[in-house]
Amino acid sequence: MSDVDVTTIATRPISNRRIVARALGGILRPYDADGVEPRLVADFANNFYFANNYQVPLSTAFTHARSSSATMVDSTGTLITVGSNVPRIGHHVYNGSAWVNEGYLHESEARTNLLLNSGTLSTQNVTVSADPYTLHFTGTGTITLSGASTDGPLVGTGTGENNRVNLSFTPSAGTLTLTVTGTVTNAQLEQASTPSSYIPTSGSTVTRSADTMTASNLPWPAPNVIGPELVTNGGFDTDSDWIEGGSWEISGGSANKPSTGTAVIYQQNVLTVGKVYQITFDLTKTSGTGVDIRPTYNSSTGAIRVTSEGTNEVTFVSGDGYISFASVSDFIGSIDNVSVREIDPLAVSIKMDGRMTYADTDNSSEVVGVYWFEDSSNYIFQRITTVSTSTGSPYFLQRQNGVTDTVVGPDTTYSPGILVPYSIASRHGSTFLNGAVDGTALTANTTPTALPDLSATDLNLGYDYMGTIKEFAIWNVDLTDAGIEEASS
């Protein structure tokens, strides 16, 4: 094994790489949680990316975009500029004694530097509105505010990015005068409650565009069938076993819906309440929308709507033991070849850590790190709620066919501030939801009845997010509470 070149590991499938990598020092082992390796890794601090069973370049695992240049800080504390669409990987933050690689600098908000000739600032006037603004700079000088605001003054503490000082304030609408004394360098005034990365200007204002980072072809759990066939007469060969409601009728080897109107066809007392099932069936439409798979026969709550013709596969948790199909009111068509078998619960687990910047000044603001969104009825979020009634609360959410389940952490877990460190993880499943914060699991929610099917949906990383991201990972299994505790520690 000692003859294996470590540089060849990236080309090996995971089954082989796991053996070789661990024998050579375990390059994958740091990403395990409870002994389980993730299926997607973005270790921005170490510039390591893993997807679809291979170590890959960042551009293979993610798509980054930003329509302008932007600045970041390198390992020496030097401010550097990168071009449009170049992700700011290797951004460093001063910890009081050294520059630390915090990974990827991501700013989902476009910002504009309202100051002119910002490299070496001189006294100037700026027209402002009655909204929050933030002023920041490096150097040993002073900026005194007058006119629309008399907050401050803002006094410099030294040269270099490790001495950047800032002042957030809300002026009245009008003309703000900024009087400069001494040396003020790389100065910025932006309309926001927090500072963002420096934007150089000369004779006019300059806007830095927003960053976006998306991932496709994400890991998703495959159903693991653990039970026998539970449907009788799934091919509708005879007019038996099924109870036909409304205009449903069994004929010609299928269940047919010849006229519009909501109606249910079902078999009763077949399933076990609370168990997870996979149902497959063929759908043919003459007209209209389709059918709903109802976890509970007499309720549309949590129903899974199927609109695609051909063979469909749906997972659900039984609420009453029935197998039931409800026609959407405009549907005319048929179903056939119905099969239902018990499966293990589907689950995905997600972790993210880094440093976020936010201010608790808006009753609708939030920090959204993970935004896995198919439509308004099906999505997964990881976010930090920053509304005034729940400041800095970790918030884990999944919504399946319009039914929302949440787990919320304690208020003020993460206080407002600049580059506040955090580490969170969550487990999302057919029958559960939970989150963990800095190594401690919250109380699980056991009311979910399905996992939203996001297998073909892109994930937006840092959807509403200002700060750095150090590591992000996804597992296509349930890590359990012990696993998400480890992942977030």
Q: In the chain, where are the structural domains located? A: 1-29, 64-106, 111-208, 215-220+346-488, 243-342
Q: Output the pLDDT for position 26.
A: 56
Q: Output the pLDDT for position 19.
A: 43
**What are the DSSP E strand ranges found in 272-364?**
276-287, 291-293, 304-306, 310-317, 323-327, 332-342, 347-358
244-275 residue pLDDT tens: 999 999 999 999 999 999 999 999 999 999 99
Q: pLDDT at residue 428 above 50?
A: yes
Q: pLDDT at residue 467 above 60?
A: yes
Q: Output the pLDDT for position 21.
A: 43
Q: What is the mean pLDDT of residues 214-237?
A: 95
Q: Structurally, what CATH architecture does the domain formed by 243-342 represent?
A: Sandwich (2.60)
152-204 residue pLDDT tens: 999 999 999 999 999 999 999 999 999 999 999 999 999 999 999 999 999 99
Stretch among 121-130, 192-201, 410-419, 463-472 having the lowest mean pLDDT: 410-419
The reply to whether 111-208 and 243-342 are identical in fold is yes
Range with top average pLDDT, 103-112, 301-310, 352-361, 379-388: 103-112
Q: pLDDT at residue 430 above 60?
A: yes
Q: Positive or negative, the Cα torsion across 242, 243, 244, 250?
A: positive
255, 246 Cβ separation under 8 angstroms: no
Residue 81 one-letter amino acid:
T
Confidence at 30, pLDDT banded by 50, 70, 90: confident
Q: What is the mean pLDDT of residues 36-62?
A: 93
Comparing 145 with 400, the larger pLDDT belongs to 145
DSSP 8-state assignment for residue 384: E
| CATH class of residue range 215-220+346-488 | mainly beta
Confidence at 391, pLDDT banded by 50, 70, 90: confident
CB proximity list for 383: less than 8 A, separation 6 or greater = 366, 367, 368, 369, 370, 394, 395, 397, 464
197, 81 Cβ separation under 8 angstroms: no
Q: What is the mean pLDDT of the chain?
A: 92
User: What residues form DSSP beta bridges with 190?
Assistant: 134
Q: pLDDT at residue 458 above 50?
A: yes
Q: How far, in Å, CA of 120 to CA of 184, rounded? A: 6
Q: Residue 358 is encoded by which pair of tokens?
A: 């936010």
Q: Output the pLDDT for position 264.
A: 96
Comparing 183 with 53, the larger pLDDT belongs to 183
Q: Output the pLDDT for position 13.
A: 42
| Kind and range of the H or E run holding 442 | none
474, 457 Cβ separation under 8 angstroms: no
418, 194 Cβ separation under 8 angstroms: yes
In percent, the amount of the chain with pLDDT more than 90 equals 85
DSSP 8-state assignment for residue 163: G
249, 261 Cβ separation under 8 angstroms: no
Fold of 111-208: Jelly Rolls (2.60.120)
Q: Output the pLDDT for position 23.
A: 44
Give this prediction's pTM. Answer: 0.87
Residue in the structure block whose two tokens are 């002042």: 167
Helix (H, G, I), strand (E, B) or coil at 203: coil
Phi/psi region, residue 158 (left: phi>0; alpha: psi -120 to 50; beta: rest), is left
Q: How many CA atoms lie within 13 A of 349 on its CB side?
A: 28
Radius of gyration of the chain (CA): 28
Least Cα distance to 192 among 354, 359, 351, 46 occurs for: 359
116-134 residue pLDDT tens: 999 999 999 999 999 999 9
Angle at 201 between CA 199 and CA 207, to 5 degrees: 55
